[in-house]
Each structure stands twice: as structure tokens, then as C-alpha cells.
Amino acid sequence: MSIAPEIPRVTLYTYAMSPYASKVHCFLLYKRVPFECFYINPFRVREDLPVGRQIPVVTIDGESRADSTPIGLWLDERFPDQLRLLPESGAERDELLKIDGWISDCLIPSSFRYFPGDGLNKWLNGWKLSSVMAKTAQGGLPLALRLAWPYFVQRVTFVRRLLEIADDGLPLRESKDKIYRQFISRLEGGPFLLGRRAPSLPDLAAYPQFALFYMTGFRGSMDILDYPELMSWLTRMAPFVSGAPPLVPPVVRTREMPLPSDDKAEAGAAR
Ligand SMILES: N[C@@H](CCC(=O)N[C@@H](CS)C(=O)NCC(=O)O)C(=O)O
């Protein structure tokens, strides 16, 4: 009698709007690994997170790892028969990891500045963030805290650290233009980053940094529409990060990302 192989139980501990956790969410969707999301309540991190104090954490059959990029490398090790996030070795792997480094150390800190943004947007996007948290985090958030969120979030230590990194001395719109063009230059004219024909770890790390804010309706998120190369790449990426659980839960989704007109053909061609 043959025994069917056990499917490992995979859990992603996340916040719906965490740029780092959403990287890992896209890794799992791309690899088509079945998983579930545990949306942490920011006031229960110590109690509910299996290791450490930072989101994301992934648990596979009781073994837990933190930190988005090391989690990606671990997923390739643990699920070698699924699509790979990176080539096993070689110069291309190193170059792709360098781009991921730029995403983690430059694009993501900048997102913490661009969303909320300046002036009135700081408040409106701050409330948007607390509303998404309240609708997704286990146990929700008390109303008083939701109202104070735009003030409170800017004072959280790790957010302050990221905002310092993001401060390039430029006005917000110019800074965004610079960073978006730097991203486009890393496509090297190709369908995917580094001019590759298929997505890899940094494509999956970058996708949510544009899509999350757009799909949840943050003010300023529609600026991506001014960059045709960026929009074409986002459109090509969409079929690779479809699936369940969705990157943006329906309860907080206000817009859809564009899909290729013939998405199956495009996804098939690139694989
Ligand atoms: N290097 C980590 C950074 C993760 C991170 O900063 N996560 C934030 C949420 S987006 C967090 O949990 N911060 C809490 C803290 O640093 O105390 C990664 O790539 O996963």
C-alpha cells in the first residue's frame, strides 16, 4: 500500500500592509506552496509570533524562520521541486540578491515615506493604514487607537529608523520619481529584473511595494500610472502572484491590478 506524501503545513505571520511580509507572501504565491496567513495584532506580537519581534515569520511544520530574504532562500531549499526564486549559484544569483538588497534597503524604506506622504495625505493614509489593520489583524484595533494611528505610527522606533534611511533631501514627488526610475533601470529593458525572461526573488519582492498601496487605495499610489515601463512590468507580474490567500484580502481591496490581456499565454511564455 502506498502512502501519499504529507503536505507540509506552512503559516505566514504577517501584517496586511507590511512591505517585508508581503515580499514573502509573493514568494509563496509564486512557488505555489499551499499556506495560510496569520494576521498578527500589533499589540500581541510577543504572544503570537513564534520567533523574534519582527514580521514576517514563516513556520513550516513547526520550524520557524524570520527575515524576508533568508526566508526566501529557505523556501527554495525546502521546496526544491517548486519554481525556484533564485538560480542555485553563479553570478546571476549574486546580481539578483543585490537588487533584492536595494529593494529592502532603499525601495521599502522609501515606501514608508511615500505612504503616508505629505500634508493631508499623512493623515488620510494614516487612517487608511489603521483601517486596514483593524479589518485584518486578529482581534482588530480599538477606535481611539485607529484615530491616533497617523500620529502614533510615525513615532514607532523601526518606522523612524526607516524614515531616516529614506530621507534623500528631495521633495517627495522628486524622490519618488528618482526611486521609480532607478527601479525601471534595473529591468535592463527586459520583461523582468536584470533583463531576465522569468521573474525571480527581487521581482516578487518589489511587486507588492507598488501593488499593495494601489490595491488598498492609498493616496499617491496612482502615481505608478505615469510610468509605462513600470505598469507593463506590474501587468506581466500579476499572473505569477495570483492565487490564495490573496496578497490583499478582499475586505480591504478597493482596486485591482491590471492583468495581461492574455495572461495565460504571457505566464506560460515566461516560465
Ligand atoms: N529585515 C527584516 C525587516 C522586517 C521588519 O522591519 N518588519 C517590521 C514590520 S514591516 C517589524 O516587524 N518591525 C518591528 C520592529 O522592528 O520592532 C525583513 O526583511 O524581514
- 208 CA to centre of ligand 1 in angstroms: 15
Find out whether 252 and 132 touch, Cβ atoms under 8 Å.
yes
**Structure confidence at residue 264 as a pLDDT band (50, 70, 90):** very low
Tens-digit pLDDT profile for residues 129-156: 999 999 999 999 999 999 999 998 989 9
- 54 CA to centre of ligand 1 in angstroms: 5
CA distance 263 to 30: 15
- 2 CA to centre of ligand 1 in angstroms: 43
Residue 271 has pLDDT above 60, yes or no: no
Using a pLDDT cut of 70, give the percent of the chain over it: 94
C-alpha cell of residue 77: 531549499
- 55 CA to centre of ligand 1 in angstroms: 5
- Ligand 1 neighbours, Cβ below 6 Å, are 18-20, 53-56, 67-68, 104, 158
Q: Which residue lies with its CA nearest to atom 6 of ligand 1?
A: 54
**Among 106, 158, 213, which residue has the most ligand 1 atoms within 8 Å of its CB, making it the best to mutate?**
158
**Structure confidence at residue 4 as a pLDDT band (50, 70, 90):** low
Tens-digit pLDDT profile for residues 205-243: 999 999 999 999 999 999 999 999 999 999 999 999 999
Residue 262 has pLDDT above 60, yes or no: no
Tens-digit pLDDT profile for residues 62-80: 999 999 999 999 999 999 9
Q: How does the average pLDDT of the chain come out, rounded?
A: 94
Ligand 1 atom nearest the C-alpha of 71 is 20
Domain boundaries, the chain: 10-270
Tens-digit pLDDT profile for residues 15-25: 999 999 999 99
CA distance 40 to 15: 6
Q: Which residue lies with its CA nearest to atom 2 of ligand 1?
A: 67
The reported pLDDT for the residue numbered 2 is 61
Q: At what angle do helices 68-78 and 91-102 cross, to 10 degrees?
A: 140
- 267 CA to centre of ligand 1 in angstroms: 31
The reported pLDDT for the residue numbered 1 is 59
**Structure confidence at residue 7 as a pLDDT band (50, 70, 90):** confident
User: Who wins on pLDDT, 151 or 268?
Assistant: 151
Q: May I ask the CATH class of domain 10-270?
A: mainly alpha
3-state secondary structure of 176: helix
- 211 CA to centre of ligand 1 in angstroms: 19
Q: Which residue lies with its CA nearest to atom 12 of ligand 1?
A: 54
pTM, full prediction: 0.94
3-state secondary structure of 263: helix
CA distance 190 to 184: 10
| Strand 36-39 to 10-14 pairing | parallel
